[in-house]
């Protein structure tokens, strides 16, 4: 095959690498505020995607948590409801420093009975994640349930935690560094799925909604 | 006394339910809050922002794998080979059990049988691999760790192929195909024979492996 033929073929081959991608499909390209926020997030994400790691992108605008690597979306978790405090400070890259402990079963050497492996059901659905610089993310399960009793118990748990949060905030030293706080309500399965996918030191970027 | 306790519990539960319901509504209404950005002056500024956003999106797409890559979902025990958005191969796998085993004579040191999460590369491709049994394989069975290296070699248990991705972790075959879809391994990723052959053919040394 001569050079002309190769060039002809190349001209009609769509290169997949470096093609235009829709990072935020819901983004209105004519809204300058949305563009500014999306650009800021992209700048942060580029730093993360340049390294071999998985990271989190919480897209409050799109209502989705993305687990990503190299810019590729690996898994998505829908957010049912969210709220935030000091949330205008939710800029930059945050690193996971504390997550809930998972109860692991132990093998007894030479034991006849095999231990039950860990599964998604072993993961917590109601937990707090701490990130650095100061950010805490509270994950709460949605209260949708087939059983009225289960719903009441779940609501009770959420209510009790709210009372605890309010009390600790009231007692908190006002002079200490303010902590940005994000609260995410997910379905039970999705909350467990997120807990499963977290890795110590995992990076997080948050896309905030803007004025429409 | 019992009735009083029951009535008190009911009142507390009701109170918590009311508090959490109140909070949930509060949360929902907060979603309308948004980051307020300074207004953009004119259309030129908007065009500059659009150009910046597109340039960053393109940069991100340059970081995405431009060759087939392996994606492993350890929560759902699935392995995919993907090329851009297209799924080239979809397989049921077995990944790490998450069980722990104490290292004898090493204090609190333990083995944790997790499949590592993050981004890795295929480092080796082997045919008819021999399993060199590590210490834990003997200790788990209550056996003495052999001094002679030849006593660790075991043929035929890893299937016809193995793809190494570092620190002793492999994608390999299994004799226990009934356990595919479950978290039962010591950290390796098991596939059935035909899926393993497919992955072996599609992957090269250097193929990215994303695990979450």
Mutate to test the interface with B, among A159, A164, A193, A200 (most CBs of B within 10 A): A159
Which single residue is written with the structure tokens 């794998």? B65
Facing B66 at nearest CB: one of A16, A36, A54: A16
* Residue at A107 is within a domain: no
pLDDT, mean over chain A = 84
How many angstroms separate the CA of residue A179 from the nearest CA in chain B?
18
The DSSP H or E segment spanning B170 is strand B170-172
Residue by residue, DSSP assigns B13-53 as HHHHHHHHHHHHHHHHHHTT--BPPPPP-SHHHHHHHHHHH
How many angstroms separate the CA of residue A6 from the nearest CA in chain B?
21
Model pLDDT, residue B41:
60
Instruction: Yes or no: say if B75 and A196 are a contact pair by the CB < 8 Å rule.
Output: yes
**pTM: predicted TM-score of the whole model, two decimal places:** 0.82
Count of domains observed in chain A? 1
Report the pLDDT averaged over residues A3-27: 59
Set of chain A residues whose Cβ sits within 8 Å of the Cβ of B65? 70, 72
Domain membership of residue A163 as a residue range: 23-101+119-170+177-207
The answer to whether B36 faces chain A, any CB pair under 8 Å, is yes
* Average confidence (pLDDT) per 10 residues, chain B, 212 residues: 62 55 40 57 86 97 96 98 96 97 90 97 98 96 94 96 97 96 97 98 98 98
Facing B49 at nearest CB: one of A19, A39, A117: A39
Model pLDDT, residue B115:
98
Q: What is the CATH number of the domain that holds A37?
A: 2.40.440.10
Query: What interface predicted TM-score (ipTM) does this complex get?
Result: 0.81
Facing A71 at nearest CB: one of B20, B61, B120: B61
Cα(A182)–Cα(B30) distance, integer angstroms: 12
Model pLDDT, residue A102:
87
pLDDT for A163-186, tens place per residue? 666 666 556 555 455 689 999 999
Set of chain B residues whose Cβ sits within 8 Å of the Cβ of A50? 63
Which single residue is written with the structure tokens 């391994």? B185
* Residue at A13 is within a domain: no
- pLDDT beyond 50 at A11: no
Model pLDDT, residue A74:
97
* Nearest chain A residue (CA) to B210: A69
| Helix runs in chain A, H state only | 3-11, 32-49, 148-171, 188-197
Model pLDDT, residue B106:
81
The answer to whether B134 faces chain A, any CB pair under 8 Å, is no
Model pLDDT, residue B4:
63
Which CATH number is B69-211 given? 2.40.440.10
Give A115's contacts (C-beta < 8 A, 6+ positions apart).
Answer: A105, A106, A107, B97, B99
**Chain A contacts in chain B segment 57-116 (CB below 8 A):** 57-66, 69, 71, 73-75, 84, 97-102, 104, 112
Contact A17 B40 (CB under 8 A): no
* Structural domain spans, chain B: 69-211
């Amino acid at each position: 095959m001569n050079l002309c033929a190769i060039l002809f073929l190349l001209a009609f081959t769509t290169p997949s690498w470096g093609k235009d991608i829709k990072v935020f499909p819901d983004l209105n390209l004519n809204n300058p505020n949305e563009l500014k926020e999306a650009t800021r997030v992209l700048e942060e994400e580029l730093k993360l995607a340049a390294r071999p790691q998985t990271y989190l992108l919480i897209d409050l605008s799109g209502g989705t948590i993305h687990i990503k690597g190299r810019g590729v979306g690996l898994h998505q978790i829908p957010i049912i409801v969210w709220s935030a405090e000091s949330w205008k400070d939710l800029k930059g890259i945050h690193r996971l420093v504390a997550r809930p402990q998972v109860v692991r079963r132990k093998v007894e050497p030479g034991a006849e009975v095999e231990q039950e492996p860990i599964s998604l059901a072993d993961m917590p659905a109601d937990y707090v994640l701490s990130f650095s610089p100061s950010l805490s993310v509270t994950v709460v399960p949605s209260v949708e349930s087939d059983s009225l009793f289960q719903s009441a118990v779940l609501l009770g748990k959420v209510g009790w935690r709210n009372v605890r949060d309010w009390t600790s905030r009231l007692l908190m030293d006002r002079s200490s560094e303010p902590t940005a706080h994000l609260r995410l309500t997910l379905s039970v399965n999705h909350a467990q799925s997120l807990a499963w996918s977290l890795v110590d030191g995992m990076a997080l970027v948050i896309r905030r909604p803007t004025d429409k | 006394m019992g009735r009083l306790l029951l009535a008190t519990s009911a009142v507390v539960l009701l109170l918590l339910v009311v508090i959490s319901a109140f909070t949930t509504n509060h949360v929902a209404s907060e979603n309308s809050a948004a980051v307020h950005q300074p207004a953009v002056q004119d259309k030129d500024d908007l065009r500059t922002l659009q150009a910046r956003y597109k340039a960053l999106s393109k940069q991100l797409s340059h970081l995405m794998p431009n060759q087939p890559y392996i994606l492993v979902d350890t929560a759902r025990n699935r392995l995919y080979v993907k090329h851009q958005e297209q799924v080239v191969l979809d397989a049921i796998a077995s990944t790490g059990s998450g069980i722990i085993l104490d290292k004898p004579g090493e204090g609190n040191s333990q083995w944790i049988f997790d499949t590592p999460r993050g981004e890795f590369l295929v480092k080796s491709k082997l045919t008819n691999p021999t399993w060199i049994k590590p210490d834990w394989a003997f200790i788990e069975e209550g056996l003495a760790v052999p001094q002679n290296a030849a006593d660790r070699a075991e043929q035929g248990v890893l299937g016809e192929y193995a793809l190494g991705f570092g620190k002793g972790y492999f994608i390999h075959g299994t004799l226990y195909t009934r356990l595919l879809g479950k978290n039962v391994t010591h950290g390796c990723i098991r596939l059935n024979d035909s899926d393993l052959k497919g992955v072996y053919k599609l992957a090269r040394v250097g193929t990215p492996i994303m695990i979450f």
